[in-house]
Structure 1
């Protein structure tokens, strides 16, 4: 299975469409980039505003074509604002392509731009744009960091953990120490009974952020231990999750994601099944934060309510995986964990209550994560051998059919 093509949204004035944008988009597609152009993608009956901003939200990069026609295009200005807002909150690349020696808006003059004359060959500029989209700078790749870097930047407990993994002993004790410290630091959850309705989202967010801080070291240790240790240690991680779940559901949700994402990345799918097997219905985002509250959380505005808590958990965990994998690898493992968990939910309960951002992309035809997960759930695989899906590929196939039906129903085009 090849890598998922990067998705690019091109913001442009319709007056530049025929003379430059259509051919430029074709050049990007010829180089493996999936391009979204409104003239090709908008269908009769589509809600144009909703489609445009959803696509910006789901793109890896936005290319803004600035020309003499741009000042007259209200749409381009709206799309630029949306792209820059998402660039601040997420990892979105915004690239300005300048035609006609047009002036770059003053508010964006600090951003890099590429000048192109549509009447001239622009292969050199195209390569620069492709390098930006793919994240490949025009210099030789860096070698690995010196061995002492981790020692200098890690906490003492994380340094002890890495030594324990290398020696093969002491991992359990270090993880249990981190669990005890995290639970001691975890503040009690404030009851919402007497909180005015207008204050509930703010109070919930404050609670979650305090929990994020209290679990910081435990999440880092969990990511490294599950990802780097050759031993799966099912008993340890089920015990850890039970301890945290006894305290509060949100911290347990965070820990389950840290275990699950690292396990998917390390191909320990059986650990995902073992850890979630008894707590599928408890460790569901909507049971931790109701969707109507998630939609109102101050820092999460703009996320789809069904995926708001998932998006928050992704942002909390990402820094703890940066020493272990690239951001793209992390996103793929994160989506893989959420998809695998949803398949397990459907097998055990016939309800996919969790879903996540992967489901929206799946509804749009991106099956790469689904293919990755299903390809690892064959007869004799560790997960099926451990009892997942009743130990049979038929159980997996049935869950996949249910997932596809659920996704179509929830994200059908209007």
Structure 2
């Protein structure tokens, strides 16, 4: 087999890159170790930055998103019972975010790829990239008991934190930056109407809580819990009771509860590897970086990586701009670290840390008061939340 770009991973970043490349006439094959149903079964993010929304439209897969997604011009901070509205629209000159689940983004991209007739190989085993620093780059894999070789010009590693792409790079060629947080998020998905028309990020002495949504009838709620906690310890009733305690009273009174569809605990970590490339292998999204979900940046950072790599490859194939290939990591990391900073800041400001003393708590309170009490501070929060602009590839 032969293609121009081999993409490892059929999550949203791999599919989005594949769609953009296909539309531009650049041949690509996606290799995925799981089944389509497994990929669609992942419960993930649901807040899309304006840049990602525009990128999905550019890829020709924004129709259902525009029809069914929820445009949000702001969000709510609930700080120990006090509510503060962050008006994204006003503070950023008209920018917004879109609430549209990652599962739906993936479903739309899968459908577009099928319609385009582009090749995706699911349930591929023993996927291994080769020759990343040679003129003979290829990926080997097994499918239905048969060994295959896919020759290519470049490899995009879109296979997540635990994927093979980053693990294929010699460890001494990567520098790892990591912070593991001493708590996780207990999340539930429920077919209940949202408690508020916008997302609510709540800071409370009992711990952080988030009221999110996937649609006007499906909600996603989270509670900060110790990393040692287990889902089995949390009945639906206990979850709803604890959520009410962490919300301002007027929101708690409006909360409509119901049986959970899904319940899980996600650990929180910040993680970055430098560089994000090794020869002809380019790391995209979670393969290169993880952010705590507090700032809604994970999927959006993957989209900005996709945009950068796509626009570089476009100039490589159309203008023979091979010099741009070496700039991929540098360009991506500038935006990655800004998003890491914002996600760290949101996490540090809104969660309770057991090792905080009275001085630390006062510093956090003062920091929050400064940002929400100043238009410049609120604008800083807003412009980071809607997403910093993508760099132009020149």
Settle same-fold status: TM greater than 0.5: no
- Structure with the bigger percentage of strand: 2
Structure with higher Rg: it is: 1
**Larger helix percent:** 1
TM-score, length-normalised on structure 2?
0.23
